[in-house]
Amino acid sequence: MIGKSAKSSMVNGLLMLLLLALASPGYSELVIRVTKGNDQPTKIAVAPIAMGGVQAKEDISAIVEADLRRSGLFETIERRDMLAFPSRATDVYYRDWRLLGAEYLVAGNMQRIADGRYQVEFSLLNVSGQKTVLTHKVSGTLSQMRDLAHLISDKIYEEITGIRGAFSTRLAYVTATRINDEYTYRLNVADTDGAREKLVLESREPIMSPAWSGDGKELAYVSFETGRPAIFRQNLVSAQRQQLTNFSGLNGAPSWSPDGKQMALVLSKDGNPEIYLLDLQSKQFSRLTRHFAIDTEPTWMPDGKHLLFTSDRGGTPQIYKLNIATKATERLTFSGNYNARPSLAPDGRTLAMVHRQSDTFHIASFDLKTGRMIELTETRLDESPTVAPNGAMLMYATKQGDRGVLAAVSLDAGVRYVLPSSRGDVREPAWSPFLR
């Protein structure tokens, strides 16, 4: 039987995100700082897009540059060093770009089309091969220029790396600020570069565990606004929201099924924290685990037939696999004295988690086929990993001095960057699925 001290430690782990170290007052977008890039980045030049007289608030080329640079896989050539600003492949003098060491060049132009929309045509050129490898068109309104920039980045990234770009996805996260000993919690959604931050919910009570629906249109989260933890779902377009649970005790860790019809969550309404399924149409609950230990943090496997979850039924928090149909469980992790908060990559094989070998919490990846565990982070008190939908990067929460910040690391640990808020603490990141 698990002792009271172990159970207490587990409960503390469930609620540790409530203990945010609250910093100076204020509220603003995240900022990006790349701390480590690829040892041999691809050198690319993004020439300023010829705007054709169009006045736009956003510099599309600068956003594309920043996206590619943030990936850690690219080194961009400064605009001031460019010898020319070609807008079409036919305008390119390859010798100029070889002199700058460019391996690739992006050239593009904008023109107005119908109904207040604008079209950007861009080309990706291989400098050494002196050939065009990609030509593509994107279109939108002036208010969608940043969206178009991220789409261009996605296309370039995929063409060069073979991996689908995720610059057009979004992040959900929680910020906390303190003014005169009064705490304010905000659930926010922003672009993956921290821009266009939008408020989803503001409360004087804690907000936790944001989770995206598979279509990227809704968030589920835990709010304490009722006086105890309750699970809500909220449409990000209409702002309509619905309370899903408000049982006595713990209501937490919502996780949408791949088909969006069910939600896995944690309830202690029958005494002990257990994993339940909620049918979102019928509103019926079904209990999946029955154990004296604490079972928590469910996450779905891609097949929709299995869940991964955290449990201390082996004496310390470890990751288990649950067959939903048979209720059979299998322990997956044995390395380290603490493995929790599982987040599965899209390949269904690579699992990110909070891992403790001795007294330091890091983010680690775990190969479900080989059982190999790799520590990905070097900071302390790392928590809440969330994997990008392309499986290239993961975001997590950590400490920078006495402030909570978001950080990102590639799954090979070769690329790192941080996204601190200019003021206040930021926690609980959740990376959206692909949105188009």
Mean pLDDT along residues 324-332: 96
Query: Of 295, 221, 228, 306, which is closest to residue 255 (Cα–Cα)?
Result: 221
35 touches 417 (CB < 8 A)? yes
d(CA 156, CA 322): 39
* Model confidence pLDDT, tens digit, residues 13-70: 444 333 333 333 333 467 666 666 667 899 999 999 999 888 888 999 999 999 999 9
* Mean pLDDT of the chain, nearest integer: 90
Share of the chain above pLDDT 70, in %: 91
At residue 12, does pLDDT exceed 70? no
Confidence of residue 412 (pLDDT cuts 50, 70, 90): confident
At residue 11, does pLDDT exceed 50? no
The H-or-E segment that residue 211 falls in is: strand 207-212
308 touches 319 (CB < 8 A)? yes
Strand, coil or helix: 222: strand
Tokens representing residue 191 in the block: 């672009």
Strand, coil or helix: 213: coil
d(CA 341, CA 317): 10
pTM here is 0.89
d(CA 262, CA 241): 17
Q: One-letter amino acid identity for 297?
A: E
* Model confidence pLDDT, tens digit, residues 224-282: 999 999 999 999 999 999 999 999 999 999 999 999 999 999 999 988 999 999 999 99
pLDDT the model gives residue 357: 82
Domains of the chain plus CATH, in order, are 4-28+169-431 (2.120.10.30), 40-161 (3.40.50.10070)
d(CA 372, CA 253): 26
* Model confidence pLDDT, tens digit, residues 149-170: 999 999 999 999 999 999 999 9
Which residues contact residue 239 at a Cβ distance below 8 angstroms, ignoring those fewer than 6 apart? none
Length in residues, the chain:
436
Confidence of residue 212 (pLDDT cuts 50, 70, 90): very high
| Paired sense of beta strands 42-46 and 74-76, if any | parallel
* Model confidence pLDDT, tens digit, residues 92-131: 999 999 999 999 999 999 999 988 899 999 999 999 999 9
At residue 8, does pLDDT exceed 50? no
Query: Of 290, 183, 171, which is closest to residue 236 (Cα–Cα)?
Result: 171
Instruction: Please indicate whether residue 403 or residue 319 has the higher confidence score (pLDDT).
Output: 319
